Structure 1
Amino acid sequence: MSEQRSHTPSKAKKADKDRAAPHAILNILDTGHRPDARARRSLAEFVAQIYAQNGLSAPEREAAIDVLHRFAHDTSLSVRRALAHCLANTPVLPASLARKLAQDVTSVAEPILINALALTDEDLIAIIMQHDDRKQMAIAKRPALTQAVTHMLISQGTKPVVEQTLQNKGAALHPDDAQRAADRFGQSAKVLSAIAKRHDLPANLAIDIILHASIGLETFIKKQIDLPPPFLENLVMRARDEAVLGRLDALPEKTLLTILRRINSKGHLRDSLVLRAVILGDRDLLEAACAVRAEIGLVPARLQLYHRGPHALNKFLDQCGFSAMLEQVIALAVPTLRQSMEGAPLDTQQYQDVIISRIVGNFRTIAPGSPETVIAQLLRLPD
């Protein structure tokens, strides 16, 4: 206990000396005495740390701010850089000092631009408009960005800056700016992937942006495959739908195969995508998926699907690695799909009615339970 008492006065005295330090340093600077750069850097760090603790009285605080401003104008880069690093995360950083450091050379400004809360949207936008790539990148890394700042970064930034902005979960993003990013950098798979991964955009909007980007779906999937499987699945299905409606060019067989092979190489060619193709009567997608899963060509896949008989079909679907339930549904669809392949026109609505009717009529062979249970299970096919 006595030892604890003996330390208390010394700690109090040290705190008093620390608080008095800004005045003392200010007096030294006022005399015209100029320590060397290393000493000035140490003094700048010392005063910044005292100031950041926010325990100064009003006069002490005023003196500290005066000292910090002087060091912010120091001719030594190392002094200003050390000062910026010490003050970057200080919640009580004066706005005038934050602006001064943010307008400095990049190595000084970066920690302030990334972290300083004192900078307003107007401050940040003014710096963005200076078109300094590294400063824009620093702003793009801030923990939170308003829509106004995000808009300026996407409108004015380089491709890496736009990519970083889109990857920033704290950046508030208006849908128009997602489209603007794609318009500016529609050949960048990284930019488009960052749009796809945004949780604050409707999934359909992100898919629409990617489908109509200048890069093209095949190139996008070749370059960027680290997307959630459901997103990739919806992307492929939307591409098929858009082609049917005439809004996009139809995917050539070779392109469709390339896309599905790339998706499958990452384990993302799921049974659920194949099921959707079967239910919708998308024969091309079903054939391509079977070819990819069985690791054979498209022509052999068609022969196995339509011309080898029920036993060979079941064996082929096993080779594809489909679930038992999906195999049953494909087997129910094949007779009608074969007719369309042989030249009979496929009425999509009539086909879908037939398939649903067959699933309901054969639910006991597909899986145990009621028809509703079977359909629910089909909708939750395993990956």
Structure 2
Amino acid sequence: MSADPTPARRASTMLSVATVYQSGELSTEEREIANAIINAVLPEAELDYRRRLAETLKNAPGLDRAIARRLAEDVMDVARPILAECLALTDEDLVAVIENRGVEHARIVATRPILSAAVSTALIKTDDETVVLRVAANENAAIPTQAYHRLLDRFAENTNVTDAVVQRRALPVAVAERMTTIVTGRVLERLIDKYNLEPARVSALIEHGRENILLTSFAPGQRAEEMRALIDALHENGLLSSTLILRAFCLGNFAFVLPALSLRAGIQVSNVRALLGDDGGRGPQQLFDRCKLDNSYRELFLQLTLLGRHERVRRFGFAPEGWRTNVRPVLDDVIGDANPEQAFEQRITEALLSLAHGHGHDNGAEGSLGRRAHGR
């Protein structure tokens, strides 16, 4: 090889070696020589030679992992056949490519017929619709529960993705339950029947899902007077529930919480602030009782009050940076476990459901957002 100074001739020799390599007829010693030749020439080979090399070696038996990795990390024209088919790449290699190369590389990895849990998780973390849809539609893709939650956090409103998830042969029950807050009609009926979900819990999950949409998609964009009008309408229709207020409190949406508590307690917002900030500690208790909130949520309310006592509210009435970080351990304690991969909003739902377990309906509660009729 070193006696031939022509790069094109060296690259042609590399391809000839690759053809023999692909035949699977090399001895161990011959394979080592072939690996050495390919590794020596590959760095200097032009694109067309590298592309032809990858196409030749994509299914080569016993392909050296290091060579496969170099080709997989090359430009897309070279990497494509290796990423899609080569079995020499380990899960570690595939995850590294997904994390370190562009989304186009990840899209090709997602076409592989079998995807491990580690690879599926890395693919879902790209937050790319094409990648996620390919993983969700692949029945041979192992998807951990946390990865499902990540997928739904980003794509709950994407019907192509949610339809692909629903059609999978099996889902973790927690994911099936969460899907009930997203899908409707016959799809919802199939989910309930397929996973034998309890109607009461499904109803509660749907209710919490609607409350979350209200607080995360609609309420944040309202001016003060519009927010008050919204809260008035919810109250008039019996929808200003304990869970809605506690969810807003957990989210740090004080622009909603303070006027909501004011309306339920029948006092001015300034008095609500005074009771919440009572250093003696009785004020929050008195406010909770005056609002007639469901007693199931008393301890959570008091803990949130304690966390927020010295917080300076940001512009537009939202909690400062770090609020959710402080609230999350409180929710974890209520639920009885910690799950950093699960969305904060979902942790709120789990905590509220845990507190409500074994209790009656919200004392002041008042209806379902599904019955939110004319309202305003």
Q: TM-score, normalised by structure 2?
A: 0.48
Report which structure shows greater RCO (CA 8 Å, sep ≥6).
2
Kindly name which structure, 1 or 2, has the bigger radius of gyration based on alpha carbons. 1
- TM-score of the superposed pair, with normalisation by structure 1: 0.48
